[in-house]
Amino acid sequence: MFFSRSLVALGALLVAAPVAAQVPKLLPLPAELHGESGSFALGARTALLVPAGDPGARVAAERFAALIAETRGLKLAIGSRERAGSIRFVRAATGKAESYRLEVMPGGAVITAGDDAGLLYGAVTLWQAMTQAPGKGAVSVPAFGVADAPRFGWRGLMLDSARHFQSPAYVRKLIDWMAVNKLNTLHWHLVDDQGWRIEIKKYPKLTAISGWRHPATAAGAPQLPQVGGFYSQDEIRSIVAYAAQRNVTIVPEIEMPGHALAAIRAYPELGTGVPIPPGTESDWGVFPWLYNLDDKTFGFLEDVLDEVITLFPSRYVHVGGDEATKEQWKGSATIQARMKALGIKDEAALQAAFMRRIGEHLTRRGRKLIGWDEILEGGEVPPDATITSWRGVEGAITAAKAGHDAVLSPSPTLYFDHRQGAGDNEPPGRLDVMDLRAIYNFEPVPAEVPAAQQHHILGLQANLWAEHIRTEERSAWMTFPRASAIAEIGWSAKAPRDYGAFVDRLIPQLDRMRPLGLRPATSAFAVTPSYAHTPGSDGATVTLANQSGLEIRYTTDGSPVTLKSPAYRGPITVKFPAKLNAAAFHGGRVLPGALAETVTAQRMRWRSDEMLETCTKRVVLALEDDYPATGKRAVFVTDLFNPCWQWEKAPVGDAKQIAITVGQIPFNFQVGKDIDGIKFASPATPDGEFEVRAGTCEGPRVAVLPLAPAVGNPGLTRLVGKIAPRPGNETLCIRYTAKGVEPVWAVDAVELIP
């Protein structure tokens, strides 16, 4: 057995160079791996052998066969008769959960595990070894051995289907992608203010009314088509079974007592009687509508949970508990009387009592309550409650010290609605940028958790909130490859992490996932330029970079970039016009995210909104235009609470005019009293105007561009006006005047015209 030989602990970075050359690039990084002499060949005649009467082993073999068919085009047979060169699945008597051993030798391969998950993950590792490079047909790999087990039992993603609905087919694809990264928990956010996505047979109006909405549009823009959908109970059962075969547990979330607008829209008696203005369901943000405390409302929630439990065998049921602003409870005489009768001192304690009642119901049904970290506030929580720590890591620290289990999911680091880069091909989402390296460097066990309580840290998950993720293609882009970093953090042993080595293993992992339907983000490999230009000169200095520090090669004459192209060693000088092409390389081939740009003098006088700085950093979002209904839409980077942009060192010296391309979008945000802090200068014309000031936002006004030409256009409008003479380079502050927050005007691009 290979375990009697000297094993190499990759987690401790002890692989000697000659051995490392013989081992496959695997993700997540295994606990132990070593190379062997000889090689193993996989071909169409390779048999998969499973023990008779072992359905779990057969499922693992079937998954391996399916993955090989999708990636290498080979159809492998499953049987139980011994044959040379076969792949055997062996059931061990004992073993740590999800652990496995894999021996790949010239005479065949053996996967040994004590549970179904371990057999599956051994098969996944073997598949990765057989797909080290793209290609079809038979393949031969150097012999090797693995002994592997996960660091954490909870390695997850959260999918928000409430804000934007994803098809059952997409959910299945996501589960496939999770499984080949050894991610094992899908937290499914099925209910929120904007939509109810799960069929509840006792309450059909939940999906009939709140399964659909019209997206918000700016005043005067054409109405967008209705969007939405929901999952029938039969569809959910099918998805849950599909996930179980891939060792993915689905944890359903039913939000309460806040994020309840969808339920209250369908059944108003569940709320506190505060009317819901039409179209509110198309807003984003923190809504004030909460469930009331009537026994009938608790009966409704218990009925819903009972139907949910029949669909999801998960030990856990997530009940939300976050962002439950208490204004409506404070303003309700009925709620206040109930609090007094129960002897509850304040609304935070009332929410704690609410959660205890729900927790008791789940306990009676044999399930455990899990909720966002707010459920720790207000008093005693259910004794077996688990915490999802999202407001940083403090919730996990508090929970663990109090004897509660916790899952790390801190914002902003593990919030996948944050963009991955500053490129103009990035989907809408939140800023600051959370790139692949930032995710990979996250440590799930806070230093403040004492060693005796560290067992309460169950693991981690990344959350994909979908307010701004309208399509499934964007959902995939925002999820991978960052989810592969989550997989490695959750699986591999704690050790000094080597980001470069991770990227080296990630690239073949993404290659083998593309035949599974994944189109991952290219942000980590994209080449981004920055320019330095002296006004009046006939060229510019170009600096190239990519997030992963990979080799960059380039050309400046428009020719394709190849391995023979110059390697980028530092800033390069080009003369106008230059056709700049550049790409990152790995293993001798071009990676996605190549740069192709024509560098001209006028390009030096132009900036997109991604290149500008927002004047403040309060709530900076990349928001999608609401027009057109189909086709490509503009995406605007703006600070929601202070729409203001700065162009630092703008080349204003020879500028005679300034052009600002603008668009308008709705202010569809529930921000409570914060809306009172959004201030604008009074407009000088009925429709307002963009103002440009020099130096600072209080500096001299150098240009005024009336908004009148843009008011009737739901798309982009290019405003052009004179700019006052200024010497050299100077910072420009760009903002607009308005009577109120609606609509939000946003900058798409700015250009100085000589």
Locate the domains of the chain by residue range: 2-148, 154-516, 528-600, 606-753
pLDDT band at 692 (very low <50, low <70, confident <90, very high): very high
Average pLDDT over every residue of 678-686: 97
The pLDDT, as a whole number, for residue 535 is 87
Mean pLDDT of the chain: 95
pLDDT digits (tens, 9 = 90+) for 31-85: 999 999 999 999 999 999 999 999 999 999 999 999 999 999 999 999 878 888 9
Total number of residues shown for the chain = 754
Q: Identify the three-state secondary structure at position 624.
A: strand
* Strand partners of residue 42: 139
Q: What is the pLDDT of residue 295?
A: 97
Q: What pLDDT digit, counting tens, does each position of 730-739 carry? A: 999 999 999 9
In this predicted model, what pLDDT tens digit does every residue of 566-622 receive, in sequence order? 999 999 999 999 999 999 999 999 999 999 999 999 999 999 999 999 999 999 999
Question: Is 455 within 8 Å of 396 (Cβ atoms)?
Answer: no
In this prediction, residue 646 carries a pLDDT of 99
Active-site residue, selected from the candidate residues 302, 323, 377, 394: 323
Residues contacting residue 186 through CB under 8 Å, at least 6 positions apart: 156, 157, 158, 159, 174, 175, 178, 243, 248, 249, 250, 251
Tell me the per-residue pLDDT of 234-270, one tens digit each, with 9 for 90 and over.
999 999 999 999 999 999 999 999 999 999 999 999 9
Confidence class of residue 9 from pLDDT cuts 50, 70 and 90?
A: very low
Rounded to 5, what percent of the chain is helix, strand, coil?
A: 25, 30, 45
The rounded distance, in Å, linking the Cα atoms of 266 and 168 is: 24
**Cβ contact 255:320 at 8 Å:** yes
Element (H, E) at 195: strand 195-196
State the average pLDDT over residues 330-343.
96
Evaluate whether 487 touches 183 at the Cβ level (below 8 Å).
yes
Q: How confident is the model at residue 1 (pLDDT cuts 50, 70, 90)?
A: very low
- What pLDDT, on the 0 to 100 scale, is given for residue 380? 85
Residue 11 has pLDDT above 70, yes or no: no
Rounded to an integer, the average pLDDT of 130-159 is 98
Q: Does residue 18 surpass a pLDDT of 50?
A: no
Q: Predicted confidence band at 185 (pLDDT cuts at 50, 70, 90)?
A: very high
Q: Over pLDDT 70: what percentage of the chain?
A: 97
Fold of 528-600: Immunoglobulin-like (2.60.40)
pLDDT higher than threshold 50 for residue 19:
no
- Note the pTM of the prediction, 2 decimals: 0.95
φ/ψ of 619, rounded to 5, equals -135, 90
Its sign, for the CA torsion 79, 80, 85, 88, is positive
323 catalytic? Reply is: yes
Burial class (CB in 10 A: 0-12, 13-18, 19+), 326: middle
Q: Read off the pLDDT of residues 628-644 as tens digits, 9 standing for 90 and up.
A: 999 999 999 999 999 99
pLDDT for res 351: 97
In whole angstroms, give the CA distance from residue 449 to residue 301. Answer: 35
pLDDT at 499 over 70: yes
Closest CA relative to residue 404, chosen from 379, 380, 386, 378: 386
Residue 470 has pLDDT above 60, yes or no: yes
> For residues 553 and 561, is the Cβ–Cβ distance under 8 A?
yes
CATH number for 2-148 (one of 1.10.10.10, 3.40.50.300, 3.30.379.10, 3.40.50.670): it is: 3.30.379.10
Domain 606-753 has CATH 2.40.50.100: no
What is the pLDDT at residue 505?
98
Sign, CA torsion 346/403/397/248: negative
Confidence of residue 219 (pLDDT cuts 50, 70, 90): confident
Which of helix, strand or coil describes residue 136?
coil
- pLDDT tens digit sequence for 379-428: 888 889 999 999 999 999 999 999 999 999 999 999 999 999 988 899 99
**Superfamily covering domain 154-516:** Glycosidases (3.20.20.80)
Across the range 206-228, mean pLDDT stands at: 95
d(C-alpha 560, C-alpha 596), whole Å: 10
